[in-house]
Each structure stands twice: as structure tokens, then as C-alpha cells.
């Protein structure tokens, strides 16, 4: 029985049970007609039920809501209704249109222009009956595409493992019974019960609420939970103002509630962001663009060689077809088939190195793109900050001030009395001890396994008590009554009495300063209550404003025998502080020419406080709101956003606008984020970086890179890796092109000038092995230079074959050709070419190759600066090539194959001295460049 048949069977069974109570007495055809009519009517009613947009649902009364969604609010939906609605609305999940088969993903690897050029050269080799060349080129291509495919496939699998979270579940009322269901089973009209710690399973319109606080930071970027109500709203503003609606993916921090499902799957607010994300195209990486350009340059170079050879042959009166064949053979030989292997291996090693540092890279070229990144746009909450509210400042009623170290809910850190920096514990300072005690008692939060259950601000007060070793002090009190916090009164109070003591009751209160101070007639001074004067009130108000302007959320605390006669205890400053290492990372990025911009849904004061704390743009901050962004024209926006370092009160659309504007201005933009509201921006950025722990599934899906342990400073390592990879690719290109041009020039000159060939076929094959083999490949695994991070970001318009690199290639090629021809002329007797002539010429060329590889390890640094032994693989491959060359010269069976003979020690020393000239000249040029062209000053805030 198929799945459709099973569904129909259950639908039929549910329907019979549902319409049974409507059957008339008696039997026969009329009864059957009535039953069928009733069935059709019910099905029609269920099919007419539509999802309700949040802005419409928030204006509905409970009765109107029940009517619109055809549901009984006391019993919930029937199983029949659920099946009918699911057939129309589908499951409460997202269908990712990524059903690309594995074979298609593998074939996509062949779209690289350089790979296509190599395949074309293999085809030409087959046509010209050079089957060995064709086989070797095809093998190289297959290795490249397979390695790239396997690495990307492994990264996808790593991401799948990261996303294997516990399937979201919920408590749902159906047929009068409270059931525990998977969130994917929900349909519009379901009744959901919410409690502390629940992840909201769908968009809900609340119908019952008890002190409900919901963390919507993944949508809005606001670190503070939103207070939710059940009342009808007269007007629907932005989604952040819909107090009677909760959205899929948000988290219940406090209280409980009951709501009706108004949107599921792609019809939820979460789904809207998901659809926007899918509509965004991921841009091509700078490396892909550079490789495309290099492919075109090499194609033109190949056609140039063919044309030149044919022209010379035609001028000499030679047969054009034979000259064309020679030209094609040389052109094929000129194409560096080892380049794609080196690029792929270099990228794979970069990806593996990043994986060890707990950074997952989903696509190979992305790791290099970071080397071009000159702007990082970062979400604040959960990315630059830990999304863990923390007390940082205390001011008591008698003027004592203290600062608090440590971040989050683990209780690590200390309270320091200012200005002496004395560490305070328990009641070593009475006033601060009483302030911390009050914050701990008037509190409903619990900290378990370093995470808070309840309100984050209350969790911050418990963590403060843990640092003062006062976390257990609430246990000495018995709570008799609680007056819960509400958005109208803006305070919370508890009535307590000491355990096992017949003392009078004591009230503890916390809340907004202007509300708490109205209930106070006294203030605490070293444990003694004194009368509160207007001057004292003005002083506290001034202190509260000062703390608020620095981005802190300020709570006032008081205690006393009754609500109208409380003793004011002091103020507590709370903020979501920066993550450890963020300030240092921002500073290093600024110095290396990368501008960091903060994009947040938070208020200006909080955003500026965090910006100053982490040293954004060296403290020269300029801020802009989402509202101001909307008022700017597209052309004006591109020039304005470059100078702004903080964007506050922003939505997902604003984030997208900022990134597009920066990209239009020519920036390579990286976006870091963790929330649903970051997903669209993550996908449209050149590099999207999601948080592994705190990140939502949708943000990880949109990103190219994931920081497994949410450490922002790892971005710095990734940028360093990206710059190093590009330099390694350039080093390889320089080596291979200078060697191949030298070899080709020798063959071309001998062919065109009718001279005897200085190298035989087997010797050319051996040179090709060195050219594309271990010494060349090992240049791609050169460790990243420690000074790389200090280099300015690479310009995306820079090609791999820059003017300076082409000059260096030709300089090395001229030295190699001149030296080899000199040896060939010196060893060429009048009687013709002897085995000694070819052996000396051949060995000279190989030694030139190895010295050339040594100097190609860095474009700017001398060999003594980078060190001989840093790249072990290079050392082993050069040593292997040298021993291989000696074997070719001295082992008799190989002498026959390569047509060589023994050389003396003086010969080898002479050839070593001559071949080292390419290394010496190149190192001298590097030295001159260092002296004459000092590095330019880098600025982090771009004009």
C-alpha cells in the first residue's frame, strides 16, 4: 500500500468518526446522501482555512480568530481537520530545492575554464597521435576534479553533522487532549502551549499569557527578551511591535502562554526570510574570476605560439601542416596542467588547516576569497557579543562603585571595589553585599550547566551573586508573595521572611530607577538606613543617566518592611558584553586594511558602547539607523555606507541593502551572523560566516563558512590562510611558466634555426616531471607566512599573471635559457653532439629548475627570512629530484634510456655554480625591492 493510499485510509476513518454524530435516524439512500453532503461540506470548510498574516492576526479578537481558523479554542482540531489542512498547507518545514544528484555535482567541477582548456589540449594530443600526453593530461584533470569534489562533499557532510540537532517538539491540544508532537506535524489552527525553554514551533497568535517573555534576538537582533500580551492590537506596525504574536524559531525565556498557529513552514515569518535567501545568488569568488582570466590568457598565449611558429615556417618556406603540428605540440606543452592540481591541493590543505581550527569551509575557493576581503559586516548579538547578559558595573546608594569581570553565566570573574581594585566576597563591603543580595532574592532565574533558565537579566544577577559567593543567600528566605513584573509598572517585588526566625516580613524590589525610587523613603549607608533627600535622588538620577548613556541596561534595587517605605540600595549596570578576543581581532584586522562594520537591531547607545569597547574603526565611530538607510538613494548609499561603522535598528532588508551597496562600491564583503535575520545577508555577501553553536539552521545553510565554536577571532586566521593560498598559487605559476617557457624556447630556437636539439625526448619528459611533479606541487603547500595578515587585502581586479610576475617569469626564463645555451655551446664539439653534450645541457637545465623552485618559495622574502626547513615537503621533493638526476647520470640502465654519461665532480660544481645564478639574481632583486619600495601605510577605514 502506497503512502497516498494510507493517508486516504486514515482520512476516511477520521471522517466517519467525525460525521457519525450528524447521521439521522433510519437508513437508506437519503441517509447516505446526507452523510456525503455533510462530508463534502466539512472538507470544503477545511480547504477554505487559510494562513493568517501576523499583521492581520494581531488585530483579531479570540472569537474572530477561532472563526477564521475554524477551530474550537477549548478542544483544538480533530485528526480529520489536521489531515485535510496538511494536504493543503503541507508539513511545517522548509523544502530546500537542492536535490542535485551526486553525478551532476561531480560534472559541475568540469566547468572551470582552465579544466576545459586542458581537456581541449588532451583532444589535440589525441588528434596529433601524442597519446602519452593525452593520457597524462586527462589523468591530471580527473585527479583535480575528484579531489575538489571529495573535499566539497566532505564539507557538506560536516555541515549536516553540525545541523543534526534534536528535532523541535511542542505541546499541542488536539481533540481535547494535550499531546507531545514534532513541530513539523503542526497545521494552521492548532492550539499550542508554551513554557520556559520552549522553542516556538510556528507563528502563533497568543490567546492566553502569564508573564511571557520571548527572546526574538534571532529575528530582531535585540538582546533583551520581548514582553508578550494577549490583548488585541489596534494598529499593526513592524514585526518587532506585534506584542500578541510569537514567531517560529524564537525562544521562551520566562512565563507561559497559549496560542493558535497562524502560519507554518514557508508561510511563516521564518519562511519569508528563507524565500528571500533562496532568491539570492551566491557571487563568484575572486579566485574563480582570476582562474577564468588566467585560462583566457593561456589560451591567447597558446594561439600566439601556434601563429608565430606557422609564420616563421611560412617565411622559411617549410610545410605549413608540419609547422602547425609543431606549434600545437608546443602550445599544449606550454599549458601548465599541474596548475589546477596545485590550486586544488593548496585549497584543500587550507580547508583542512581551517578544520583543525574549528572552521568549516563549504566550498573550496571561499577560503582564498578571504584574502581579498576588505570589509567585514558583523551582526552584534551572538557574534561580536556572547548573547549572555552580564553585570559590569555597580553603584551603591552610599556612593561605592565596583566593576565586574567575567562574561556569561558560569560565575567566573570577580567584583572589584573602585578605585582600590580590592576583590569583594560576600559582605566584605556591606553596601555592595546588600545590593547583590537583593538582586539574588528578587529573582526567578536558575543557572544550570552555564546556561540560564528564565530572563537573561535575572540570570546576570544570579551570576553576579555567584562571583560574590552569595548565590545561596536566597535559600535563607521563604517567599510569601510575588508581584510580577509588567510593562506598565516596570518593577517586580517579592515578600519574604527569614527561615526559622519570627521576624517581620521584608520586601525586595527591582526595576526601572524612576519607578523604584518612588517607593523609597530611605537610602542605605554602610548598613544603616538614612532619610532620602531630593539631593540624593538627583544624584542617583544623574548616575543612572550616565550608566544608560554608556549602553548599559540599568536596574535599581531596594528593600524594606513595606512597599511605600523601602530603603534604596543602588544601581546595577547590565550589558551583553563583547566575546573574548574580539577587541584584539578587530584591532589586527584594522591594521591589515580590513574595515569592520557592526549591523544590529539594537538601540544606538548599546551599539555605540559595544563599538567603542571593541575599538571599531579605531574609535572614530559614525552611526546610521535603518530608517536613515531607507531615505538614501542607491547612488548616495554606496558612497555613504563606506564611512559608517555602526548600523543600528536594522532589519534583514537593511542588511542586504548595506552589503549590496558596499559591493557596488567595489568592496569584497564578508558577513558574520547567527540569526534568521542574518540569513539573506549571509548568502548575498562574498563570504557568509555563520556561528556553529549559537547559529540558527537557516543561517548555517546560507553561509559559506561556519565558526564551530563561535570564535570571531578565527576570521583572522581564515583571512591569513586566504592570503597565503593566493601567494602560493602565484609562486607555483611563476616557477612553472618560467621553466616551461625556457624549455619551449630551447626547442623552438633549435627547430626554427635548424640547429641540433639540445635535449632528447626522454630528457624533455624528465624535465616535465620536475616541472609538474613534486618540486612544483610542494610550492603550493608552503606554510602561511606569519606577516601575511599585515599585508593589505588583495584587489579583486589583480590577475594571477600581474605585470611584475610576468617580468620575473621572463627574467628567470632568460637566465635559464642563456645559461643552458652557454653550456650547450661550450660542450658542443665540431664533430657533432655527443652524450656528454646532452648530459651537461640536460643536467644544467635540471639544476636551473631546482634553484628556480627555491627562489619561487616567496615573491618578497629572502630565503633566510622564510627559512630553509619550514617547507619539509619542498625539501624532500628537491632532494628526491637531485638524487633522481644523479641516478639518470650514473646508473648504467638509466644512462641507456636517457642517453647520458658520467660527469666529474668539477662538472657538477661548475653546473651548480652556474645554475645558482637564477637564485642569486632573484634574491638580489627582492633585496632591491625591499630597500627601494617600502610597504605602504594601510588604513582600516576606507574612503
481-501 burial: b if 16+ Cβ within 10 Å, else e:
eeeebeeeeebbbbbbeeeee
Q: Which of 358, 323, 186, 227 is nearest to 706 (CA)?
A: 358
Report which secondary-structure segment, H or E, holds 156: helix 131-163
Q: Which of 219, 215, 183 is nearest to 202 (CA)?
A: 183
Contact 146, 162 (CB under 8 A): no
User: Among all chains, which residue has been given the C-alpha cell 538582586?
Assistant: 439
Mark whether 787 is an active-site residue.
Answer: no
Q: Which of 133, 203, 379, 785 is catalytic?
A: 379
- CA 40 from centre of chain: 52
What is the C-alpha separation between 174 and 733, in angstroms, rounded?
68
What is the C-alpha separation between 370 and 348, in angstroms, rounded?
15
Give whole-number Cα distances, 552 to 187, 415, 529, 575, in Å: 42, 17, 27, 5
Instruction: Give the three-state DSSP class for 454.
Output: coil
Structure-block grid coordinates of residue 347:
585549497
Structure-block grid coordinates of residue 38:
455533510
Q: Which residues pair with 646 in a beta bridge?
A: 598, 623
Structure-block grid coordinates of residue 56:
492581520
Contact 526, 569 (CB under 8 A): no
Residues 6+ apart with CB under 8 A from 512: 490, 491, 555, 556
Give whole-number Cα distances, 5 to 1, 2, 17, 571, 809, in Å: 6, 5, 19, 66, 71
Q: Is 598 exposed, middle or buried (0-12, 13-18, 19+ CB in 10 A)?
A: buried
Cis peptide before 655 (omega within 30 of 0): no
Report which secondary-structure segment, H or E, holds 701: helix 697-702
Q: Which of 661, 796, 800, 642 is nearest to 730 (CA)?
A: 800
The HSE-up count of residue 276 (CA atoms within 13 Å, CB side) is 23
Q: Which of 154, 189, 196, 160 is nearest to 174 (CA)?
A: 189
Q: Please provide the distance, in angstroms rounded to a whole number, between the alpha carbons at the two ends of the chain.
A: 67
What is the C-alpha separation between 93 and 185, in angstroms, rounded?
9
Phi, psi for 927 (deg, rounded to 5): -60, -45
Q: Which of 674, 671, 670, 716 is nearest to 692 (CA)?
A: 674
> E-assigned strands of 463-552?
477-483, 491-498, 506-511, 520-525, 528-531
Contact 271, 211 (CB under 8 A): no
Pairing of strands 705-707, 359-361: antiparallel
Residues 6+ apart with CB under 8 A from 535: none
What is the C-alpha separation between 681 and 676, in angstroms, rounded?
10
If one counts every other C-beta atom within 10 angstroms of the C-beta of residue 446, the result is 13
Residues 6+ apart with CB under 8 A from 816: 738, 739, 742, 845, 848, 849, 852, 918
| Catalytic residue list | 379
Amino acid at each position: 500500500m502506497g503512502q497516498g493510499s494510507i493517508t486516504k485510509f486514515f482520512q476516511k476513518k477520521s471522517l466517519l468518526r467525525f460525521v457519525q454524530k450528524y447521521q439521522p435516524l433510519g437508513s437508506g439512500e437519503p441517509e447516505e446522501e446526507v452523510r456525503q453532503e455533510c462530508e463534502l461540506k466539512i472538507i470544503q470548510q477545511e480547504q477554505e482555512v487559510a494562513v493568517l498574516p501576523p499583521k492581520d492576526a494581531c488585530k483579531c479578537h479570540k472569537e474572530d480568530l477561532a472563526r477564521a481558523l475554524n477551530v474550537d479554542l477549548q478542544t483544538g482540531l480533530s485528526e480529520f481537520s489536521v489531515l485535510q489542512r496538511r494536504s493543503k498547507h503541507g508539513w511545517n518545514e522548509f523544502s530546500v530545492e537542492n536535490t542535485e544528484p551526486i553525478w551532476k555535482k561531480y560534472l559541475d567541477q568540469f566547468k572551470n575554464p582552465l579544466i576545459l582548456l586542458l581537456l581541449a589540449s588532451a583532444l589535440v594530443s589525441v588528434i596529433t597521435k601524442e597519446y602519452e600526453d593525452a593520457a597524462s593530461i586527462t589523468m591530471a584533470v580527473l585527479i583535480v576534479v575528484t579531489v575538489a569534489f571529495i573535499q566539497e562533499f566532505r564539507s557538506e557532510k560536516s555541515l549536516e553533522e553540525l545541523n543534526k540537532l534534536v528535532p523541535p517538539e511542542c505541546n499541542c491540544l488536539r481533540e481535547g487532549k494535550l499531546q507531545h508532537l514534532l513541530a513539523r506535524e503542526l497545521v494552521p489552527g492548532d492550539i499550542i502551549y508554551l513554557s520556559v525553554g520552549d522553542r516556538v514551533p510556528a507563528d502563533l497568535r497568543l490567546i492566553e499569557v502569564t508573564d511571557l517573555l520571548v527572546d526574538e534576538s534571532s529575528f530582531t537582533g535585540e538582546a533583551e527578551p520581548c514582553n508578550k500580551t494577549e490583548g488585541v492590537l489596534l494598529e499593526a506596525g513592524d514585526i518587532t511591535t506585534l506584542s500578541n504574536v510569537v514567531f517560529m524559531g524564537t525562544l521562551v525565556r520566562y512565563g507561559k502562554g497559549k496560542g493558535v498557529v497562524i502560519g507554518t513552514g514557508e508561510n511563516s515569518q521564518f519562511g519569508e526570510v528563507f524565500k528571500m535567501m533562496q532568491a539570492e545568488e551566491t557571487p563568484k569568488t575572486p579566485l574563480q574570476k582570476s582562474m577564468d582570466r588566467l585560462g583566457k590568457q593561456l589560451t591567447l598565449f597558446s594561439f600566439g605560439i601556434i601563429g608565430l611558429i606557422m609564420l616563421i615556417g611560412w617565411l622559411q618556406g617549410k610545410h605549413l601542416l608540419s609547422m602547425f603540428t609543431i606549434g600545437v605540440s608546443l602550445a599544449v606543452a606550454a599549458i601548465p596542467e599541474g596548475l589546477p592540481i596545485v590550486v586544488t591541493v593548496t585549497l584543500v590543505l587550507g580547508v583542512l588547516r581551517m578544520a583543525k581550527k574549528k572552521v568549516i569551509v563549504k566550498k573550496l575557493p571561499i577560503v582564498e576569497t578571504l584574502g581579498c576581503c576588505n570589509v567585514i559586516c558583523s551582526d552584534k548579538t551572538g557574534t561580536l557579543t556572547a548573547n549572555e547578559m552580564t553585570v559590569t558595573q555597580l553603584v551603591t546608594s552610599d556612593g561605592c562603585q565596583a566593576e565586574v569581570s567575567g562574561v556569561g553565566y558560569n560565575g567566573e570573574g570577580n567584583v572589584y571595589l573602585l578605585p582600590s581594585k580590592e576583590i569583594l566576597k560576600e559582605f566584605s563591603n556591606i553596601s555592595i553585599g546588600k545590593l547583590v543580595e537583593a538582586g539574588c532574592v528578587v529573582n526567578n532565574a536558575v543557572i544550570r550547566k552555564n546556561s540560564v533558565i528564565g530572563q537573561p537579566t535575572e540570570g546576570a544577577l544570579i551570576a553576579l551573586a555567584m562571583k560574590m559567593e552569595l548565590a545561596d543567600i536566597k535559600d535563607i528566605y521563604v517567599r510569601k508573595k510575588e508581584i510580577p513584573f509588567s510593562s506598565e509598572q516596570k518593577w517586580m517585588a517579592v515578600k519574604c521572611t527569614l527561615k526559622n526566625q519570627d521576624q517581620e516580613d521584608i520586601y525586595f524590589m527591582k526595576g526601572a530607577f524612576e519607578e523604584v525610587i518612588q517607593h523609597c523613603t530611605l537610602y542605605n549607608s554602610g548598613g544603616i538606613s538614612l532619610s532620602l533627600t531630593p539631593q540624593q535622588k538627583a544624584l542617583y538620577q544623574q548616575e543612572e543617566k550616565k550608566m544608560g548613556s554608556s549602553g548599559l541596561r540599568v536596574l535599581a534595587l531596594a528593600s524594606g518592611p513595606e512597599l511605600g517605605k523601602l530603603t534604596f540600595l543602588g544601581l546595577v549596570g547590565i550589558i551583553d558584553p563583547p566575546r573574548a578576543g574580539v577587541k584584539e581581532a578587530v584591532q589586527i584586522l584594522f591594521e591589515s586594511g580590513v574595515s569592520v562594520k557592526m549591523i544590529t537591531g539594537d538601540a544606538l547607545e548599546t551599539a555605540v558602547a559595544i563599538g567603542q569597547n571593541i575599538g571599531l574603526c579605531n574609535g572614530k565611530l559614525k552611526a546610521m539607523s535603518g530608517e536613515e538607510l531607507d531615505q538614501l538613494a542607491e547612488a548616495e548609499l554606496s558612497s555613504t555606507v563606506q564611512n559608517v561603522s555602526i548600523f543600528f535598528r536594522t532589519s534583514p532588508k537593511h542588511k542586504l541593502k548595506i552589503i549590496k551597496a558596499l559591493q557596488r562600491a567595489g568592496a569584497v564583503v564578508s558577513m558574520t551572523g547567527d540569526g534568521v535575520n542574518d540569513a539573506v545577508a549571509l548568502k548575498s555577501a562574498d563570504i557568509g560566516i555563520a556561528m556553529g553553536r549559537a547559529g540558527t539552521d537557516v543561517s548555517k545553510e546560507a553561509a559559506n563558512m561556519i565558526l564551530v565554536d563561535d570564535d570571531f577571532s578565527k576570521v583572522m586566521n581564515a583571512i591569513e590562510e586566504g592570503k597565503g593560498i593566493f601567494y602560493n598559487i602565484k609562486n607555483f605559476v611563476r616557477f612553472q611558466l618560467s621553466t616551461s617557457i625556457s624549455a619551449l624556447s630551447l626547442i623552438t630556437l633549435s627547430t626554427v634555426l635548424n640547429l641540433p636539439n639540445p635535449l632528447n625526448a626522454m630528457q624533455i619528459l624528465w624535465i616535465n616531471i620536475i616541472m609538474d611533479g613534486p618540486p612544483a606541487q610542494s610550492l603550493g603547500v608552503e606554510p602561511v607566512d606569519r606577516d601575511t595578515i599585515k599585508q593589505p587585502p588583495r584587489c579583486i581586479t589583480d590577475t594571477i599573471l600581474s605585470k611584475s610576475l610576468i617580468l620575473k617569469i621572463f627574467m628567470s626564463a632568460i637566465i635559464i635559457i642563456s645559461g643552458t645555451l652557454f653550456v650547450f655551446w661550450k660542450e658542443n664539439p665540431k664533430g657533432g653532439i655527443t652524450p656528454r653534450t646532452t648530459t651537461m645541457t640536460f643536467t644544467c637545465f635540471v639544476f636551473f629548475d631546482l634553484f628556480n623552485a627555491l627562489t619561487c618559495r616567496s615573491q618578497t622574502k629572502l630565503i633566510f627570512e622564510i627559512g630553509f626547513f619550514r617547507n619539509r615537503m619542498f625539501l624532500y621533493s628537491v632532494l628526491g629530484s637531485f638524487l633522481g638526476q644523479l641516478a639518470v647520470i650514473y646508473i648504467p640502465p638509466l644512462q641507456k634510456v636517457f642517453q647520458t654519461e658520467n660527469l666529474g665532480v668539477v662538472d657538477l660544481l661548475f653546473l651548480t655554480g652556474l645554475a645558482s645564478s637564477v637564485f642569486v639574481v632573484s634574491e638580489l632583486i627582492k633585496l632591491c625591492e625591499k630597500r627601494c619600495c617600502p610597504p605602504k601605510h594601510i588604513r582600516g577605514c576606507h574612503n
